[in-house]
Amino acid sequence: MENGERTKDQKKRKKRQKVKKKRKKGQKDKNKMENGQKTKRKERRDKRSKRKGNGTKEASVKARARDISFMKRTVARYQLRRALASNKLFKSRGRNDQQ
């Protein structure tokens, strides 16, 4: 820091100050949207995410897929529990008691 050199942080801060411009009083911020209005990027994102399912524009497609996968997992857990229970019964009876 000889001869008035700036650190990296100071340089970044100075650069940010140059980039930052003040709005004139009463001028709207271009990036700020009015209530209920979406930016173009958000609109495109929403359309794309809605179409991900079966090529439909319904948002519920994703929800249905989530429900289906949840049911698959639940059924698998239930079947596993039943299999374990029946296996325990089988073992507790012993081999000779079978028949």
Q: Which of 74, 54, 73 is nearest to 64 (CA)?
A: 54
Residue 15 lies in a domain: no
Residue 49 lies in a domain: no
Residue 36 lies in a domain: no
Full-model pTM = 0.30
Count how many domains the chain has.
Answer: 1
pLDDT in tens, 19-62: 556 656 666 666 666 666 777 777 777 776 666 555 555 557 77
Domain extent, residue 77, equals 59-92
Instruction: Name the residue with tokens 């639940």.
Output: 74
For residue 25, the model assigns a pLDDT of 63
Residue 6 lies in a domain: no
Count of H helices and E strands in the chain? 3, 0
